[in-house]
């Protein structure tokens, strides 16, 4: 069996379930990708997934579906997705073993 591209922490899975419960009925999960930008070169992107796109990786973990953009798979392999709640902010955090550099604000990375 091949390695799952992304693993979800319990906090991330709970937050995705919460987000999905508030989304419109056409959403079937969340899509994770990467895009060029940010001070280190790339940043993570999340959006509602309304359909499965060609060549997408579909992860079912802890009762939620995460769709991985095919162009992002090589950057995300082995990543753990977590959700952190702090005093003034809350956000998804990606613990990515492929990162070679991360900017100070934590919003972008280089792989």
- Say yes or no: domain 6-110 is CATH 2.60.300.12: yes
**Which residue is listed with tokens 């991330």?**
12
Task: Identify the pLDDT of residue 106.
Answer: 63
In sequence order, which ranges of 1-111 are alpha helices (DSSP H)?
A: 10-22, 73-76
Distance CA 83, CA 5 (A): 17
Cα 32 to chain centroid distance, Å, stands at: 4
Cα 54 → chain centroid? 18
Q: What is the reported pTM?
A: 0.83
Per-residue pLDDT for 1 more than 60? no
* Helix boundaries (H) for 3-110: 10-22, 73-76
Q: Is the pLDDT of residue 37 over 90?
A: no
pLDDT single digits (tens) 48-73: 999 999 999 999 999 999 999 999 99
């Amino acid at each position: 069996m091949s390695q799952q591209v992304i693993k979800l922490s319990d906090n991330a899975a709970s937050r995705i379930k919460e987000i999905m419960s508030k989304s419109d009925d056409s959403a079937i999960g969340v899509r994770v990708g990467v895009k060029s930008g940010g001070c280190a070169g790339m940043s993570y992107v999340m959006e509602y997934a309304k359909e499965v796109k060609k060549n997408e990786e579909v992860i079912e973990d802890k009762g939620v579906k995460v769709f991985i953009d095919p162009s992002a798979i090589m950057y995300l392999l082995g990543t753990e997705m977590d959700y952190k709640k702090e005093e003034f902010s809350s956000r998804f955090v990606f613990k990515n073993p492929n990162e070679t550099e991360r900017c100070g604000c934590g919003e972008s990375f280089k792989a």
